[in-house]
Chains A and B, each alone.
Chain A
């Protein structure tokens, strides 16, 4: 079995869940090396950028992984999402530049979700796809709005941005490839049950 762990924000807590579930996960010392693949207890742990977890799982290059709903939606990931994790919750929102100008351009890391949101509301705006720090686009008046995740709201407050519509409640999930579940139902169910028990114990 190969499990994809998102590097960055969710990495430590995601590994913590698997450790609580009794899996032999790579140690901190392991992670200080530049290796990206670790074989522990018969499981291959791979470390990839958070937005790539759905790609690996959808293509069957990983059997399961931890991915945020933002990345699942953006990639239209078809994997099962059997367990929601009790941390890292945030909200995807439409955020206006200071003074809340009218909607003309939206900067985002999530062009597909943004396009669907705009279409759903019958709004017309140009979408500018950026790799990160998207709030800056509104601060510097590159765009009138941004679509991004809001966790504490600190960035929004500091830059006097204006919170507008809620697009989606975002939480990280255990995702399991459909092909893996179809061909290895026992392993897939055991993984789900163990992660679920670990998660319930954290609540």
Chain B
């Protein structure tokens, strides 16, 4: 029987040229992260499903490939580094070791429940700053992301926001979630929130508008804005509501390359570590390398 010519959906081998390109980008990232004081860690490619079950919602759970191993345990193939790093660090982490600056690289496999032909095997390099809740850490990470994404003749666009603003509004009414996600006002949004939600959707909202609902987020975003000054790489988009997931504060996305595709994303997740035993603030980001030069 002839060998199959095709591969499973969303995966393909990298041959000589593509591999050389991948390694070039990877080497540049690793060198830059190392010189910024980040040390590498390696995380397993598979892990038990059970420790993570409480913290990610059902939709996120379904994006990982799962199987039952020979001992009858439910196992998932790595689909997100961040919770795995929290679980790996938490048991032995000591206060006096903090803050930690770490990075990792490797594949994640996601069975995107989509027919759109997105890749399922993604090569990622990510970095995390664990144990620093300060706004200075937010600024450090934004600058690091910009330095990594910046190429000669290609200035990245970095959009940032704070998910706690949306979370505060959604806590008051679930209808806000749909309105913000679709960017369309609905009559089910409570009257008290209509003005702020409409302003967020239309992009007219200012930090003064959101301050009454999320004072801490407004103060942090204002401090970040001051620190970044007039750098046009960064843009605060209060209307940019990504899925909140385990994020608790700053959230950002990086668009780079001629196609202005999403190259990286990240944010702050201050409650993640305590779910694995040892509370610690943390912020991180992940680049998906496949499309970068």
Contact = CB atoms under 8 A, between A and B. Distances in A.
A155 interface: no
B24 interface: no
B183 A81 contact: yes
A169 B184 CA distance: 16
B113 A179 contact: no
Contacts of B260: 60, 179, 183
B116 A182 contact: no
B157 A75 contact: no
B115 A182 contact: no
Given A179-B261, A179-B262, A182-B237, A192 B255 contact: no
A76 B114 contact: yes
Interface in A145-203: 173, 176, 179, 181-183, 185, 189, 192-193
A189 B253 contact: no
A28 to B, nearest CB: 30
B203 A179 contact: no
A107 to B, nearest CB: 19
B183 A82 contact: yes
Contacts of B261: 60, 179
B182 interface: yes
Interface in B246-292: 253, 255, 259-262
B149 interface: no
B116 A55 contact: yes
Given A83-B184, A183-B157, A76 B113 contact: yes
A23 interface: no
A24 B202 CA distance: 24
Interface string A55-69: 100111000000000
B183 A80 contact: yes
Nearest to A80: B183
A84 interface: yes
Contacts of B253: 182
Interface in B148-187: 157, 159, 181-184
Interface residues of B, number: 22
A185 B235 contact: yes
B240 A176 contact: no
B180 to A, nearest CB: 10
Contact of B183 (A59, A75, A76, A176): A176
Contacts of A84: 184
A179 B255 CA distance: 8
B265 to A, nearest CB: 11
B201 interface: yes
Contact of A182 (B113, B157, B181): B157
Contacts of A193: 202
A3 B36 CA distance: 42
Nearest to B157: A183
A52 B113 CA distance: 17
Contacts of B262: 179, 182
A37 B77 CA distance: 43
Interface string B182-202: 111000000000000000011
Given A60-B259, A193-B202, 5 more contacts: A80-B182, A84-B184, A179-B255, A182-B255, A183-B157
Interface of A: 55, 58-60, 75-76, 80-84, 112, 173, 176, 179, 181-183, 185, 189, 192-193
